[in-house]
Amino acid sequence: MSNNESNLKSMTDLVALCKQRGFIFQSSEIYGGLSSCYDMGPYGVELKNNLKARWWKAMTFRQDVVGIDASILMHPTVWKASGHVDGFSDPMVDCKICKERFRADNIDVTANCPKCGSKDSFTDIRQFNLMFKTQMGAMEDTSSMVYLRPETAQGIFVNFLNVQTTMRKKLPFGIAQIGKAFRNEITPGNFIFRMREFEQMEMQYFIKPGTQKEAMEQWKEARWKWHLDNGIREEKLKWYKQEELAHYADAAFDIEYQFPFGWGEIEGIHSRTDFDLKQHAEYSGKNLNYVDQVNGNEKYLPYVLETSVGADRGLLAVLCDAYRLENEGDAEKERSVMKFHPALAPIKTAVMPLSKKSELEEVSTKLFEDVSANYKSEYDVAGSIGKRYRRQDEIGTPYCITVDFDTLNDHSVTIRSRDTMTQERIAITNVQTYLKDKFKF
């Protein structure tokens, strides 16, 4: 990074840019917003879809991984078996004076209320289950109660045998899924880092018991590389080894990203043993054993190595990492630019006629049609060319193609690079080849 550019300093700058440039909006904003829920705007959804597509490809283009898309609503016993009904809760206290709710493990419950300063104002500590409950069918009683899934993993576990037998898979193999999950967090926050409705990209890798250490090494390496392949700077990532393990795990590593608010988990790689399959076998009464034809038809429950990325957290890391402020304080030269990896950039090229003159528009619209057949592109004719470049910088468009009056004579256009701001003169007939070379990934 050169001396005249700086990284993202505060989340406030990013939240403002995300709103102004159409990446992310507060949910239900015209009604005052809904706490910790956000909507993807036109560029946000493109960026997130590109990220999800990269993950899906990295997983399901492998010989040993297949995908599924399970239902959000599941049989309520699934969550008894998984441990979520009894164990998925946070300790909570309320202030009796100001009614603010706190996680009891985040504050000193013997001290004064951090919000209103009252003394001895806390209720007793209660366990608060983080699952959202809703009703299924017309009857509103406990027998019709279902949950919005708090994780996508269980949809994979309950389909283990369906997938294994229909796909004729032998161990080791994985099942990948991208989907929404819901947690009624007591204290959500930090923009899209901790939301109550979020999206996960999870892959459960089924292995022979005893091979979990080598599977862990293999997937740690693959998953670290994936983040680097998305253009995330390696010095912004670190491993965190969980010492206090969840009840289902025998080893757990997280990949953390250095956000402006501190290091935060973006992916977990967890060795889940046979806990989940064993629980589902017991609660469902079904035999979920794998028949190992390679090893004399030995029957056993596979172990599971899980890789789980928060799609929204991954997106937030991509946004934070791409942000640069260049020539700060220089009225003429200052620009903020989103240096997305070209594969992730929501818009790949912008075609810009220098003016609205009809002879330029004719060439430009034809060029736009050609380019946008292959790349998500924009046609932008409004405002000065400088302003248009700045706008494309802020949404992270790698290349702007300008059609000017010389184009009418030399049948060439100017292609401007987002990152270097250098300009090249390219014959219109060579534009597709030029872009094909630039977007090779």
Contact flag: residue 115 with Zn ion (CB under 5 A): yes
Q: Which two tokens stand for residue 293?
A: 């034809």
Please, what is the angle between helix 431-438 and helix 358-372, to 10°? 40
Per CB under 5 A, the segment of 20-28, 96-104, 226-234, 273-281 that binds Zn ion is 96-104
Stretch that binds Zn ion, among 112-120, 233-241, 370-378, 386-394 (CB under 5 A): 112-120
Give the chain's length. 441
The end-to-end CA distance of the chain, in Å, is 23
Q: Does 95 bind Zn ion (CB under 5 A)?
A: yes
Which of 16, 53, 98, 167 lies at the binding interface for Zn ion (CB under 5 A)?
A: 98
Interface stretch with Zn ion, choices 7-15, 87-95, 210-218, 413-421 (CB under 5 A) = 87-95
Give, for 91, the enclosing helix (H) or strand (E): strand 89-94
CA distance 234 to 437: 25
Separation CA 367–CA 353 (nearest Å): 10
DSSP state letter for 250? S
With vertex at residue 163, the alpha carbon angle to CA 81 and CA 70, rounded to the nearest 5 degrees, is 60
Q: What x-and-dash track marks residues 38-77 binding Zn ion by CB under 5 A?
A: ----------------------------------------
CB of 111 to Zn ion, least distance (A): 11
Strand partners, 337: 324
Between 86 and 105, CB nearer to Zn ion: 105
Residue pair 17/23 in contact by the 8 Å Cβ criterion: yes
Question: With CB under 5 A as the contact rule, which of the stretches 8-16, 105-113, 208-216, 379-387 interacts with Zn ion?
Answer: 105-113
Q: How many residues sit in the footprint of Zn ion (CB under 5 A)? A: 7
The residue range among 3-11, 52-60, 106-114, 324-332 that interacts with Zn ion, by the rule CB under 5 A, is 106-114
Distance in Å, CB of 96 to Zn ion, minimum: 8
Closest distance to Zn ion from the beta carbon of 99 (Å): 7
State in angstroms the smallest separation of the CB of 101 from Zn ion: 10
Q: Which residues contact 413 (CB under 8 A, 6 or more apart)?
A: 367, 401, 402, 403, 404, 407, 425, 426, 428, 431
Binding status of residue 233 toward Zn ion by CB under 5 A = no
Cβ nearer to Zn ion, comparing 105 with 424:
105
What phi and psi, each to the nearest 5 degrees, are found at residue 265?
-70, 130
Taking the least distance from each CB to Zn ion, the nearer of 119 and 247 is 119
Q: Considering the rule CB under 5 A, would residue 111 count as an interface residue with Zn ion?
A: no
Full DSSP string of 260-292: TTEEEEEEEEEEEETHHHHHHHHHH-----EEE
Q: Which is nearer to Zn ion, 121 or 129 (CB)?
A: 121
Q: Compute the least distance from the CB of residue 60 to Zn ion, in Å.
A: 50
Shortest reach from residue 117's CB to Zn ion, in Å: 7
Nearer to Zn ion, 107 or 163 (CB): 107
**Residue 116 touches Zn ion, criterion: CB under 5 A:** yes
CB of 122 to Zn ion, least distance (A): 8
Which among 191, 409, 404, 202 is positioned nearest to 307, based on CA atoms? Answer: 202
Stretch of 95-103, 191-199, 232-240, 394-402 lying at the interface with Zn ion (CB under 5 A): 95-103
User: Who contacts 3 (Cβ-Cβ below 8 Å, separation ≥6)?
Assistant: none
Strand 349-353 relative to strand 377-379: parallel, antiparallel, unpaired? Answer: parallel
Is residue 112 close enough to count as binding Zn ion by CB under 5 A? Answer: no
The residues that touch Zn ion, with contacts defined as CB under 5 A, are 95, 97-98, 113, 115-116, 118
